[in-house]
Amino acid sequence: MSVTFVLARAENGVIGVDGKLPWHLPADLSHFKALTMGHAMVMGRKTFESFPAPLPGRRHIVLTRDPHWQAAGAEVVHDPATALRIAGAHVAVIGGAEIFALFLPHADAIELTEVHAAPAGDAIVPPFTGWREVSREDHAAEGERPAYSFVRLER
């Protein structure tokens, strides 16, 4: 089994504000789609609820403490071990911050969009220390959109 984190993170660690991304980067959304298409995605309930509808072509495994929570398109689990057991050979962990912390010991790789900005936010992921950068693709700022880099990290 391989476990890959897929996320966008600002220089100050921010990954979200009020259940949304604090930036709009169409290339990052396309990158996310390419990385997750056809795979199981593990996420928390708030991340699932931030989507307007389940994302096509992907399984949505939702980890929640609420024993009664259900939603169309969600495979509900209540512990990380069950999420990993049902996910199959490759799983993309997509957030939020608590979910990343829970799955960090299981992660093999991180597909990180480094957003070169420091927006305000209420969801923070600390830097990934002890990981080796294996690739980087830098992109310049465009208008109101900040510069960003697609970075792959491995253990």
CA 37 and chain centroid, separation: 13
pLDDT tens-place string over residues 70-105: 999 999 999 999 999 999 999 999 999 999 999 999
β strands within the chain, DSSP E: 2-10, 14-16, 40-44, 59-63, 74-77, 90-95, 109-115, 123-124, 132-139, 148-154
Judge whether 75 and 60 are in contact, CB under 8 Å: yes
pLDDT at 17: 96
* Token pair for 62: 């939702």
Topology at the third CATH level for domain 2-117:
Dihydrofolate Reductase, subunit A (3.40.430)
pLDDT tens-place string over residues 6-64: 999 999 999 999 999 999 999 999 999 999 999 999 999 999 999 999 999 999 999 99
- Residue 143: band (very low, low, confident or very high) from pLDDT cuts 50, 70, 90: very high
- Residue 147: band (very low, low, confident or very high) from pLDDT cuts 50, 70, 90: very high
pLDDT at 117: 98
CB proximity list for 105: less than 8 A, separation 6 or greater: none
pTM: 0.97
